[in-house]
Structure 1
Amino acid sequence: MTKIRKVLDISGRFLFVLAILALTFIFAMFQGGKVSWTIFYCLLPFVIYSTLLFFYPLSEISVKRSIRTEGIQNGGKFLVSLLVKRKSRFPLLYTVVTEKWAEDAQDLVADNRLKQLFIFGFRKEMEWQYEIEQMPRGEHVLQGVMVEISDFFGWFRKTKFIDAKDTILVFPKIIDLHYVSFDTQYDRGTLASLLNIVKDTTMATGVRGYQPGDRVTWIHWKSFARTQTLMTKEFEDRRSQELFLLLDGRVSATFEEQVELTASIMKEASSHQANLELMTTGLESSIFPYIQSEEQLHQAFVHLAKIKPVEQERVAPLVDLGMGLQLGGLVVLITGKPDRIFMQSVLRSVKNAKSIICFVVVKDNESTSKELENDIRTVKSEGVVVHVLGREQFREAFKEVTSR
């Protein structure tokens, strides 16, 4: 139906141009005189150009998009370059190129910068760059480019959509945290056992005599070939922390800040060799277990870039999907609404409530509501460590918790 409308629109405009020519010709024939024929001959070049534009194939126009910024974070700048090419040198006057995004809200974000007017003339290519100052976090789809050409007076217009799909991922903003491993034994005495002594097998620090139970891969075969005595490599002991991040995926006024805090903790904890796991609640709660490699970390960041908050009634029950919480270790819960129903589902999935640290994210310079304060008191009464954070406090979040 759209194609039929498009054909009818083009045909109607073309007939309108021919009707103008016919009317001016009839007027000149019947009226006579120099003025009438002058009007006819003045309009004739414009009508001829419109007629030629009718037969001009838009299929010869192509667009190449180049994305100039990679790895964009929330609030970062997004720069795109578009190269519009054509095969012939047919003179084109008014050519409007419009970038089409999947979401309508992108037009507001771009502040109407997604449309550009070109006057090609006889040139075969034109380049256009546009910039979006603050890209929001999420997955954004560039569907293609709409090209529209017009004659002198806008009597005749032709449009063509050129498919050029690109997907842009805008990641959460990463904040540099002062990460502190939770090896501090404070009054509850719950965090010391969360650190395990493991062997860093990437580098041997020496050799010792073989002992029953040593792995075959640890045997120093060069020493054995030289001395005929089994020797075992010695490795440096390092402390490894089990860290389970749980992001509350419900709609909240601070949801973007929650995602940023989660991503920042992941980035910093991974650089300190913590054994990471990530779980996000939502329609189908997602779990990323054993995040150790860069690829696994990147997959988790991609998920955080795409995640969208859901309403309370649409969240999948955590009790059914939270078996990963049974693995032990420190559970870091990041939420904006620690209400009783949600926290009870978390507590049912965790063996020890004292192994939970709950970061309640609030807006900077805004006082907490009485309802939120009551929820925090209730959560603390269950034995959960609660820490209220604004964005400005993210950097010192771990320091402040361990010092309590």
Structure 2
Amino acid sequence: MKRSGKYLSLTTRLVFIVSLFFSMYVFAMFQGGTVSWTIFYMVTPFLLYSIALFLYPLSVLKVKRSIRSKTIEKGGKLHVTLHITRSFPFPLLYTTISEKWDDARVIESVPQTKQFFIFGFKKEIEWSYEVDKLPRGQYTIEGLEVEIADFFGWIQKRSFIELKDSILVFPNTTSMHYVPIDAQYDRGSLLSPYSLVKDTTMATGVRDYQAGDRVTWIHWKSFARTQNLMTKEFEDRQSEDLVVLLDGRVSDTFEEQVELTASLIEEASSQQASIAFVSTGEEITVFPFIHSAEQLNEVFVHLAKIKPVSVNDMKLIARSTFSALAGSVIVVTGKPDAAFIQTVNHVTTSMKSVICFVVVDKLQAVSTELQQQVAYAKSKGIAVHLLSRKQFSDAFKEVSSL
């Protein structure tokens, strides 16, 4: 209905222009005189251009979009370049091009997504714009809307060119100093099947070089004597697996919770720790192994897309979620209420220890309610620590000291 309404309106405008053309011609014929014919000849080019613009097909416009990077961190800049080409050099005067995003907030906050051109006889134009400070999330550019008009706005034509691109804005991460949790040397009685981190200050021997060994591990003295590459062997520091659990409920500090979670996982992964990730929400999502860059990227994609849900919409965590996991659990939340703590305590009975990070706004005083919630969690054997954004860098230190 909308398309037919637009077409009818455009056709009505054409009828008006044609009627105006013949009316002025008839007036000049009957009235005669230099003035009448001068007015007719002056207006005729504009009327003919409007008629030609009505017949000009916008389908000849071809658009190519170039995005410097489709994955950026929260608050980063998105650089977009559009190349608009056409095969027929019809003189386009007033041309407006605007990008259509699926999130109206981007269009409202970024005026650069709309641009006015005088195309002229050019066959190609290029337009670049930047979007600053995009919040975390997934965005889709649906396409491009092109609008052209004649001199007086008698003929206005619009065309939507579908050209989809997806943008991911990852959460910011904070650089941390990694400290293993309950780490012990392999002389201990309880060993985990994974090496949490190698202590490169304690070489216990040498072995033949294998593909993938770091250059810094090569034993150069042995190479000088034997001309064979040998790699130092180090004592492994062992620990149970580390599981990070993100509370997906709506809270005032949800974005900070996501950033803390991303920072914990990134730092532990960079230190070759055995780490898993569980997020709650409308669905319970589990990443049981985060050992490779590809697996880490999958986690960050999930953290970029995740949205908080209300308590009523959140799916309950089942005990089976942690049945294949072991070791210590780090819970990241903004609301450690009794119901949530009871659920965590129930489903993590098989885990060695549970540590809860409560993300708070440093500008606000800790409420009496939150103090009561923290006291309740501690009474259930859960170690609790309040963290503001500025304290994220010392998160692992806080864990090891709890």
Q: TM-score range by the shorter chain?
A: 0.7 to 0.9
Q: Who is 1:76 aligned against?
A: 76
> Quick one: structure 1 residues 37 and 176, their matched pair in 2 at CA, closer, same or farther if it must change by over 3 Å?
same
Opposite residue 374 of structure 1, the aligned amino acid is Q
Q: 2:357 aligns with which of 352, 356, 359?
A: 359
Q: Who is 1:8 aligned against?
A: 8
- Normalised TM-score (structure 1): 0.85
Q: 2:326 aligns with which of 304, 325, 328?
A: 328
Q: Is the 8 A contact 2:253 2:360 kept in 1?
A: yes
> Quick one: structure 1 residues 159 and 22, their matched pair in 2 at CA, closer, same or farther if it must change by over 3 Å?
same
Is 1:384 aligned to 2:382, yes or no?
Answer: yes
Aligned-pair identity in percent equals 47
Using the TM superposition, give the Cα deviation of residue 276 of structure 1 relative to its aligned residue in structure 2, in angstroms.
Answer: 1.1
- Normalised TM-score (structure 2): 0.86
Cα distance in structure 1, aligned partners of 2:157 and 2:196: 69
Is 1:295 aligned to 2:294, yes or no?
Answer: yes
Q: Is the 8 A contact 2:196 2:273 kept in 1?
A: no
Q: Is the 8 A contact 1:200 1:237 kept in 2?
A: no
Q: Who is 1:41 aligned against?
A: 41
> Quick one: structure 1 residues 256 and 197, their matched pair in 2 at CA, closer, same or farther if it must change by over 3 Å?
closer
Using the TM superposition, give the Cα deviation of residue 402 of structure 1 relative to its aligned residue in structure 2, in angstroms.
Answer: 2.1
Is 1:102 aligned to 2:125, yes or no?
Answer: no
Unmatched segments (≥5 aa) in structure 1: 186-191, 208-232
Q: Is the 8 A contact 2:177 2:394 kept in 1?
A: yes
Using the TM superposition, give the Cα deviation of residue 59 of structure 1 relative to its aligned residue in structure 2, in angstroms.
Answer: 1.1
Is 1:51 aligned to 2:51, yes or no?
Answer: yes
Using the TM superposition, give the Cα deviation of residue 244 of structure 1 relative to its aligned residue in structure 2, in angstroms.
Answer: 0.3
Spell out, residue by residue over 1:63-105, the C-alpha distance to the aligned partner (whole angstroms, 9 max, x if none).
1100023430111111100111111111110111110111212
> Quick one: structure 1 residues 58 and 371, their matched pair in 2 at CA, closer, same or farther if it must change by over 3 Å?
same
Cα distance in structure 2, aligned partners of 1:79 and 1:71: 11
Residues 87-98 of structure 1 mapped to structure 2, 5 A cutoff: 87-98=87-98
Spell out, residue by residue over 1:171-227, the C-alpha distance to the aligned partner (whole angstroms, 9 max, x if none).
111111112111369xxxxxx9686674999x99547xxxxxxxxxxxxxxxxxxxx
Q: Who is 1:283 aligned against?
A: 282
Residues 87-236 of structure 1 mapped to structure 2, 5 A cutoff: 87-110=87-110, 112-183=111-182, 198=195, 205-206=205-206, 236=234
Cα distance in structure 2, aligned partners of 1:181 and 1:35: 93
Cα distance in structure 2, aligned partners of 1:69 and 1:199: 33
Q: Who is 2:258 aligned against?
A: 259
Using the TM superposition, give the Cα deviation of residue 400 of structure 1 relative to its aligned residue in structure 2, in angstroms.
Answer: 2.6
Cα distance in structure 2, aligned partners of 1:57 and 1:197: 65
Using the TM superposition, give the Cα deviation of residue 6 of structure 1 relative to its aligned residue in structure 2, in angstroms.
Answer: 2.8
Q: Who is 1:246 aligned against?
A: 245
Using the TM superposition, give the Cα deviation of residue 142 of structure 1 relative to its aligned residue in structure 2, in angstroms.
Answer: 0.6
Is 1:342 aligned to 2:340, yes or no?
Answer: yes
Q: Who is 2:221 aligned against?
A: none
Q: Is the 8 A contact 1:74 1:135 kept in 2?
A: yes
The number of residues matched between the two structures is 372
Cα distance in structure 1, aligned partners of 2:163 and 2:56: 22
State the SS of the aligned residue for 1:143. Answer: strand
Opposite residue 57 of structure 1, the aligned amino acid is P
> Quick one: structure 1 residues 16 and 238, their matched pair in 2 at CA, closer, same or farther if it must change by over 3 Å?
farther
Cα distance in structure 2, aligned partners of 1:248 and 1:200: 27
Cα distance in structure 1, aligned partners of 2:94 and 2:196: 69
> Quick one: structure 1 residues 98 and 234, their matched pair in 2 at CA, closer, same or farther if it must change by over 3 Å?
closer
Is 1:394 aligned to 2:392, yes or no?
Answer: yes
Opposite residue 362 of structure 1, the aligned amino acid is V
Q: Is the 8 A contact 2:142 2:164 kept in 1?
A: yes
Q: Is the 8 A contact 1:109 1:135 kept in 2?
A: no
Cα distance in structure 1, aligned partners of 2:251 and 2:289: 28
Q: Is the 8 A contact 1:240 1:275 kept in 2?
A: no
Cα distance in structure 1, aligned partners of 2:123 and 2:347: 65
> Quick one: structure 1 residues 70 and 247, their matched pair in 2 at CA, closer, same or farther if it must change by over 3 Å?
same
Using the TM superposition, give the Cα deviation of residue 285 of structure 1 relative to its aligned residue in structure 2, in angstroms.
Answer: 1.0
State the SS of the aligned residue for 1:80. Answer: strand
State the SS of the aligned residue for 1:264. Answer: helix
